[in-house]
Amino acid sequence: MQAQTTVKAMSFNIRLDAASDGENRWDLRKSRVSGLMQYYEPDFIGAQEVLHHQLMYLDSSLSNYSFIGVGRDDGKTQGEYSCILYNTDKYIPVKQSTFWLAPKSDSVCMGWDAVCNRVCTYGLFKNIKTKQLVWVFNTHFDHVGKTARIESAKLILQKIKSLNTKNDPVILLGDFNLRPNEEPIQRIASEMNNAREISQLVYGNIDTWNAFKFLSKPNGGIDYIFVNKHPKIKVDKFATITDSYDMKYPSDHFPVMATLTILK
């Protein structure tokens, strides 16, 4: 039998800490966010909209996780992170960095017609037990700029190509602020597989944006997990996780999670 590695990857926009969220503000739901992460035990969590103090809370409450990533507004701790939390019992980072979704991608800047600084954090991780290497990328596309979104898609694909010279497995996580039929997603899907679409088992609807509205139908599948078209990657399961408490959601996005098998 072939040796194999099972990888569980989650993409989760946790919603930044905004006092205007009222009964859904961070302080009242933060334990629900960390509790969900602990319960599902992903190996990797690509989180979006994470402010530094939110990251510090997650880092302290998730005892067997560490993180890579920087704040998008200064390359250190200011502004939102698109960080990657990883299970330290199973993985160690071999390489890590963050680039900006902009023509000058190696320094803090806003790209094209975007209205915010946007970043993509990535790492090359080694499985401690099986020694299997896997690249993990995590991003959050601009919600306004049309050019920014198509150019961001091209940039990430180009970065993956230039970094992954040994054709290792690649997982791309993110809140893309785009529906599946829109051009930037189609562009990514032309070079990578949408994990939901190739999964052996799919649980839950495609819609991931709930706006904290418990009694309304969620609108729009804008959170994704992609994998490179690698002969040894199989997507076993894909779920949209709609867990709730007291008629509330942990975030205004549902997390999505894929369970992959990487054959040796």
- Tell me the pLDDT tens digit for each residue of 106-128: 999 999 999 999 999 999 999 99
- Give 57-82 pLDDT, tens digit per residue: 999 999 999 999 999 999 999 999 99
The CATH homologous superfamily of the domain defined by 4-263: Endonuclease/exonuclease/phosphatase (3.60.10.10)
What's the pLDDT score for residue 264?
85
- Give 78-95 pLDDT, tens digit per residue: 999 999 999 999 999 999
For 66, how many CA atoms within 13 A lie in the half-sphere containing its CB?
10
Alpha-carbon distance of 98 to 119, in angstroms, equals 7
For residue 2, what pLDDT band results from cuts at 50, 70 and 90?
low
Closest to 12 measured CA to CA, from 227, 224, 261: 224
Residue labelled with tokens 């940039």? 155
Check pLDDT > 80 for residue 1. Answer: no
Chain-centre distance for alpha carbon 33: 15
Which helix (H) or strand (E) segment holds residue 127: the answer is strand 119-127
Contact (CB, 8 A) for 225 and 188: no
Q: What is the DSSP letter of 117?
A: -
Check pLDDT > 90 for residue 245. Answer: yes
- Strands in 44-48's sheet, in edge-to-edge order, are 65-68, 84-87, 44-48, 4-13, 256-263, 233-240, 201-203
What's the pLDDT score for residue 3?
78
What's the pLDDT score for residue 137?
99
- Give 193-205 pLDDT, tens digit per residue: 999 999 999 999 9
What's the pLDDT score for residue 185?
98
- pTM for this one? 0.98
Q: What is the DSSP letter of 44?
A: E
Average pLDDT over the chain, rounded to whole?
Answer: 97
> What are the sequence ranges of the domains in the chain?
4-263
